[in-house]
Amino acid sequence: MERMIVCKLKNKGGGWYEIAKVGKWKGHKVGEFELTKEDLNQIVFNFQNIGLDVVVDYEHQTLSGQTAPASGWIKAKDGLKVEKDSLLALIEWTPKAKESIKQKEYRYLSPVLIQNTKDNKSGNIIGWSLHSVALTNTPFFTELEPISAKSNHNKEENMSKEELEKLKKENEDLKKEIKTLKEMVKKAKEVAAKQKVSEAISAKKITKEQESWAVEYALKDEKGFEEFIKNAKAVVEVPSSNQFAASNKPGDIDVVKLALGGDDE
């Protein structure tokens, strides 16, 4: 037979909320009960297998069968976990519930745990499971802190002023280091591009006049430039002197005059 345990407890606050813990209790209205770490892991296992979001309502209205608006939801699959001796739930609050918590209209959580859960498909007993959770103001457990609408994933809210200033300083130092590294990388790329262009000029793949253009090309598209140089044919430079010009040296033949049919003097 299923045994339903309704446990009301305080909470630390944050996105992850402690909804159950290892221990033994004798004063519950349904009688004495105990939760071990194995029980908590069983709850997580069954929650993941069922694969449905678990409702967080107000004052256990889901159990009474009356209209039961959700105050939040524990998302399927990844919404429960065990840390040390505690069962934690990742709760997404509705805007209304978040405001109620902010205004301290509700301060505690109350999980509904089923001890001898029966699987709907097989009919087999699968152990402890989480039925629902409620916002309430009458906790069963009194050891924990009241809930808060703030998320413990927002680290800045939980940091001291000194810690926050230290983090900002480290962030600024990191930005400076990144800027320096970027400048070093840029300089190294410029050196490499100029070297590639110099080699291309030496190989007569481009002319000296094309140097500026080639450096810019190599910086923008290194692989493209390398492919261009690989496929480029060597440049043939035309001599600036006129090899057909007449020579004034004694004994030289004036090939221009000879080509015109003139006599060599």
| Residue-wise pLDDT tens digits, 115-165 | 888 888 888 898 999 999 988 887 665 544 456 544 343 444 445 677 778
- Same domain, yes or no, for 123 and 222? no
The answer to whether residue 19 sits within a structural domain is yes
Same domain, 175 and 137: no
Domain C-terminal end among 132, 158, 184: 158
Band (64; pLDDT cuts 50, 70, 90):
confident
Distance CA 210, CA 201 (A): 9
**pLDDT recorded at residue 237:** 60
- Tell me the CA distances in angstroms from 230 to 100, 193, 206, 218, one per residue in order: 71, 15, 11, 13
Is pLDDT above 70 for 258? Answer: no
Is residue 143 included in any domain, yes or no?
Answer: yes
Write the DSSP symbol of residue 210: G
Q: How many CB atoms lie within 10 A of CB 138?
A: 8
Q: For residues 62 and 177, state if they share a domain.
A: no
Residue with tokens 């699968």: 126
Residue 109 β-bridge partners: 9, 135
Model confidence at 253: pLDDT above 60: no
C-alpha–C-alpha distance, residues 88 and 83, integer Å: 7
71-78: average pLDDT: 89
Parent domain of 173: 161-242
* Of 1-5, 71-75, 213-217, minimum mean pLDDT range: 1-5
pLDDT over 70 for what percent of the chain?
A: 74
Amino acid identity for residue 27 in this structure: G
Using pLDDT thresholds of 50, 70 and 90, give the confidence band for residue 99.
Answer: very high
pTM of the predicted model as reported, rounded to 2 decimal places: 0.51
Residue 253 lies in a domain: no
pLDDT, tens only, 6-25: 554 544 444 788 888 888 87
Kindly state whether residue 263 falls inside one of the protein's structural domains: no
